[in-house]
Structure 1
Amino acid sequence: MFILFVFSLNRAIAEYLSHDLPYKLSPDDAFVTSGCTQAIDVALSMLARPGVNILLPRPQGWEVDLDAVEALADHNTAAMVIINPGNPCGNVYTYPHLKKIAETAKRLKILVIADEVYGLLAFGANPFVPMGVFGSVVPVPTLGSLSKRWIVPGWRLGWFVINDPNDIFRNPKIVERLKKYFDILGGPSTFIQAAVPRILQQTEDVFFTKTINILKQTSDICCERIKKIPCISCPYKPVGSMAVMVRNL
């Protein structure tokens, strides 16, 4: 019964994330974690080896400086991390830019780790596009959780999902090793896991619409009030996530 329960949970996560992808994820592609923090730990543990490095690009013009990425990458580079929507920048990457990121990663022969814990929390001109859309270009481990979109930070339930329709990960048995690794990890509370399929499948759109409206309104209020404070400024009005960057004048 426990095995069936876990399979049902993984299947619900895979089906939920598949809605915005050009291919279907399987339950074997999804792993449940204790929040997105544990998903990050798994991603780092999966890639860890002596001398390895992972690139965390700084935004330039609120996009990834891909020239800098190519200049910094070397034979020990295993991956680069993309946080979208951005925190604390409040930016949302466009489809064309994400495509360039995927093509750059393919050229460098590295992974793209997509931290999408704020996924779909976009309220500007750019719609949220999951990095997994480009999983056929380069393998993409996607990290996410319930905490932000469903506003339940204390629940500590997240996921580590492999977007790899070309089965690049499966050839060297990476998925098999991941399963063994997850077998020794502690997971979220059982009652929370039991609630996830229903949460993912039955939350009404009005809840998400209300959340987006609140985020946009509070973003507008913050930026307007920051303008009235003489010693600080808001260099970029957020269009996603839940944070705003402030600069000292």
Structure 2
Amino acid sequence: MVLSAISTPGDNILLPDRGFPLYSTICCRNGVERRLYPIDLDNDGLIDLVQLEAKIDKKTKAILINNPSNPTGIVFPKWHLEAILRIAYKYKLAIIADEIYGDLTFNNMKFYPLATLSPKVPIICCAGISKQYLVPGWRLGWIILHNRYNALCEIKSGIISLAQQIMGPSSLIQGALPDILHNVPNLFFENIRNLLQTNSDMIFSRLIRVPGLKPLRPSGAMYMMVKFDPEMYGNESDFVEGLIREESLYTFSGSLFNAPNWLRLLLTFPEETTNEACDRIEMFCQRSRRIYNWHK
């Protein structure tokens, strides 16, 4: 709804290049140019701010920032977010803050909502309960407009009109929201963070030792990106489909997020399942290296 309300055909929006593919789908559907700013997966998963600024012109309507990130699991530090805000302030741009993963952080990393930082710019925050509360099927989220300088008045009207066309979450779940937000014990979230931390540490420590694999250590969300060397394992399709066919192990292809030769792994399984998944990846890699190198 936000992407549709903030732009018209011929405009452009800056999107993360290593990001959730639905952003691009919505922009293309609306005739809006998607300008992808680089996420450097080989440099802690941070945004290339020089390239981000270089993509701004008079038709740029907003910068979309996804933090914590899907697919990388990176949580942007405070100084990095403030640098992004300075760019938005310089060009008088609004920011769409996709913060659906919010406080779902670990590795002692702190999440900073963009709207709490300076310099102050118009910010549209999108969030919900599906990730942090582990209830994706409930489809309950919200949009918060920080209407600084009254820059978002027309956009707010557009979002309200679009919201009336989409009948989403049931009234029962909406009625339960105050209790969900205020009465879920902290132990619930601590258990989730501990599981994510444990699985992240396990996968990283095991896969970093596998020749040709390079995991990117996450600090938030529920994913880990792993780079593989096509010189050792062949192309991405061979690798991903081989894991499915030979090990019954499903991963997301990095190309889905515009990150070829990377995989996205999920961190939410029980520890024993995650450990077995690492076993299967290691066995597959051992076989694949031998077979691929023999053919070469």
Q: TM-score, normalised by structure 1?
A: 0.77
Deviation of the 1:209 alpha carbon: 1.0
What is residue 3 of structure 2 aligned with on the other side?
A: 44
Percent sequence identity over matched residues? 35
Alignment of 1:26-41 (within 5 A): none
**1:101 and 2:113 are equivalent in the alignment:** no
| Partner residue of 1:53 out of 12, 16, 25 | 12
Residues of 1 paired with 2:156 and 2:6: CA distance?
A: 13
Deviation of the 1:88 alpha carbon: 1.4
What is residue 26 of structure 1 aligned with on the other side?
A: none
What is residue 120 of structure 2 aligned with on the other side?
A: 137
Question: Could you list the runs of 5+ residues in structure 2 that have no partner in the other structure?
Answer: 16-36, 230-296
**1:176 and 2:157 are equivalent in the alignment:** yes
| Partner residue of 2:59 out of 55, 76, 85 | 76
Is the contact between residue 136 and residue 164 of structure 1 (CA under 8 Å) also seen in structure 2? no
> Which structure has more RCO (C-alpha within 8 Å, separation ≥ 6)?
1
Is the contact between residue 113 and residue 143 of structure 1 (CA under 8 Å) also seen in structure 2? yes
| Partner residue of 2:95 out of 98, 109, 112 | 112
Is the contact between residue 106 and residue 137 of structure 1 (CA under 8 Å) also seen in structure 2? yes
| CA offset digits 1:136-169 (Å, max 9, x no partner) | 6111111112111001111111111112354432
Deviation of the 1:54 alpha carbon: 0.7
Cα RMSD after superposing both structures: 1.8
Question: Could you list the runs of 5+ residues in structure 1 that have no partner in the other structure?
Answer: 1-41
Deviation of the 1:47 alpha carbon: 1.9
Alignment of 1:180-219 (within 5 A): 180-219=161-200
| CA offset digits 1:43-94 (Å, max 9, x no partner) | 1111231211111132232222221111111111111111111121111111
What is residue 129 of structure 2 aligned with on the other side?
A: 146
Write the letter of the residue equivalent to 1:241: A
Residues of 2 paired with 1:186 and 1:134: CA distance?
A: 33
Residues of 1 paired with 2:64 and 2:212: CA distance?
A: 33
Residues of 1 paired with 2:131 and 2:148: CA distance?
A: 27
What is residue 48 of structure 2 aligned with on the other side?
A: 65
Rg comparison, structure with higher value: 2
Deviation of the 1:231 alpha carbon: 4.2
Write the letter of the residue equivalent to 1:200: L
Residues of 2 paired with 1:110 and 1:168: CA distance?
A: 9
Q: Give aligned pairs, total.
A: 205
Write the letter of the residue equivalent to 1:96: W
Deviation of the 1:221 alpha carbon: 1.4
Report runs of 4+ in structure 1 exceeding 4 Å deviation: none
Higher deviation after alignment, 82-91 or 180-189: 180-189
**1:122 and 2:102 are equivalent in the alignment:** no
SS at match of 1:54: strand
